[in-house]
Structure formats: structure tokens, C-alpha cells
A = this chain, B = another copy of it.
Amino acid sequence: MSEPGLACCTPLSGTAMSAEQAEQVAPLLKALADPVRLRLVSLIASSASGEACVCDLNDAFDLTQATISHHLKVLHSAGLLDREKRGVWVYYALRPAALSAVANLFGTAVPA
């Protein structure tokens, strides 16, 4: 800890993020911080029905089905995606609340 004798800069005023808040939001960003997962979310978001099945997502990448399933699980575990099984296929959809939590980080409102 530096003594207050000499001040090198303003004492970090304002209201910074709390440690707990950082610990909460960081996993969301970590889940999104991957090119494949970013594209997965983007693909689902740009889908007309707002959801996408694994089979189509699988075709969009040059990766193994196991790898895509793993990335989807990461996004689902982070709370970013909802998972619904209908018959043989599994559909993933965006969870808007989680995305807005991240969007709030940058002082902006949710898109839609």
C-alpha cells in the first residue's frame, strides 16, 4: 500500500465495479470470448425464428460435432442460451436477460 504522502494521481473517484459484480459478469464474457461461440450466438441471434438446431449450427463450422456440442454447453452453462429438445433435434435460443447484463457493462441498453 502506498502512503498518502505523495499523490501520483486522482484517488480513483467515481463508482467503480465491485469485486462481486466483476466475478459475476466475467464468466459471461469468458463464455463469449471465443470466435466459435461468438459466431454461434450470432447465428442463433440472426435466425428468423430466434432459435437454431444443432444440426445446422454444426454445418456452419469446420469442427467436430463434439466440439460444437461442447461450445453450446459452455454457452448454456453460462446462462446465455436456452436449450430445448423437440423430437430428435435440440434447439438453442438466446436468453435476452444474460445478454442485457453484458450490454449494461458498456452503459448501453438492450437492442431488442
Q: Kindly state whether residue A109 has any CB partner on chain B within 8 Å.
A: yes
Q: Which of A1-56 contact B (CB under 8 A)?
A: 1-2, 8-17, 19, 22-23, 25-26, 29-30, 32-36, 38-39, 42-43, 45-49, 51-53, 55-56
CB distance from A16 to the nearest CB of B (A): 4
List the B side residues contacting A112 at CB < 8 Å: 107
Residue of B nearest to A111 (CB): B107
* Cβ contact within 8 Å between A11 and B111: no
How large, as a class, is the contact surface on chain A?
35 or more
Contacts A2-B59, A33-B30, A106-B103 given; does A12 touch B111 at CB 8 Å: no
* Cβ contact within 8 Å between B14 and A48: yes
* Cβ contact within 8 Å between B17 and A42: yes
* Chain B CB within 10 Å, residue with most, of A55, A89, A106, A107: A106
* Chain B CB within 10 Å, residue with most, of A10, A102, A103: A10
A-B complex: 5 closest residue pairs judged by Cβ atoms: A14-B46, A108-B108, A107-B111, A17-B42, A29-B33
